[in-house]
């Protein structure tokens, strides 16, 4: 799945996020906007919309390009890792589908190993 396809799908599923995109925005910037939206759902305890965010990513995990995978790691998962509300972070992981959770935990372990 190309970057263009990924963000086109994301724009359809999450028009509020897409309204913050610019034509010149790169993958990482757009992924950061999606991370901000996801964190907003965590803060608001909007489990249904949070699940929708996670399901969107999980359903595309195995077909994304290395560039999108990198943007997921660096701009999406790092934002979630840096989200500092410990209790809600635990709740967030409980909502993540299994494949996505494993992807997230693998990246967390790598991130933590960097020191």
pLDDT digits (tens, 9 = 90+) for 42-91: 888 899 999 999 999 999 999 999 999 999 998 998 888 776 565 666 67
Residue 103: its pLDDT value, please? 87
pTM of the model: 0.87
Per the structure, how many domains does the chain have? 1
Q: Identify which has the larger pLDDT, 84 or 29.
A: 29
Using CA atoms, how far residue 51 sits from 62, 69, 88, 113, in Å, is 18, 20, 14, 28
Tell me the longest C-alpha to C-alpha distance in the chain: 38
Structural domain of 11: 3-113
Residue 50: its pLDDT value, please? 93
């Amino acid at each position: 799945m190309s970057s263009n396809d990924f963000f086109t799908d994301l724009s359809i599923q999450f028009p509020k996020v897409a309204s913050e995109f610019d034509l010149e925005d790169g993958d990482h910037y757009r992924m950061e906007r999606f991370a901000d939206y996801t964190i907003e759902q965590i803060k608001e305890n909007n489990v249904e919309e949070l699940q929708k965010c996670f399901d969107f990513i999980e359903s595309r995990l195995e077909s994304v390009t290395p560039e999108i995978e990198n943007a997921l790691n660096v701009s999406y998962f790092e934002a979630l890792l840096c989200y500092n509300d410990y209790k809600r972070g635990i709740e967030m992981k409980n909502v993540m589908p299994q494949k996505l959770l494993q992807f997230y935990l693998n990246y967390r372990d790598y991130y933590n190993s960097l020191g």
